[in-house]
Amino acid sequence: MSSYDIHYRKQIWQAAICSVLNKVFDLAPPVLIGTAVDVVVKKQDSVIARLGITDIFGQFLILAFFTVIVWVLESVLWIY
């Protein structure tokens, strides 16, 4: 192990974790869009409806909530 690794180990781990999480959040919007299409097409038989939220408006509220969370987390990780 080099002296560089020892002095910056914590920052290296933080950067690696932020990079992986940022990529996960980059891939989340297409999944959310696909889920929204699923709600429109299948309505009460969608993936979210199987979790117990059968109201279409409620399903879209859940999707909107997760979309905002993903964008906020992606933006926060971009700062690091």
How far, in whole angstroms, is CA 31 from its chain's centroid? Answer: 9
| 27-76 confidence digits (pLDDT tens) | 999 999 999 999 999 988 899 999 999 899 999 999 999 999 998 988 88
pLDDT at 50: 92
Burial class (CB within 10 angstroms; exposed 0-12, middle 13-18, buried 19+) of 11: exposed
Confidence of residue 2 (pLDDT cuts 50, 70, 90): low
What's residue 15's pLDDT? 86
Cα 58 to Cα 5: distance, rounded to the nearest angstrom: 49
Confidence label for 25 from pLDDT (cuts 50, 70 and 90): confident
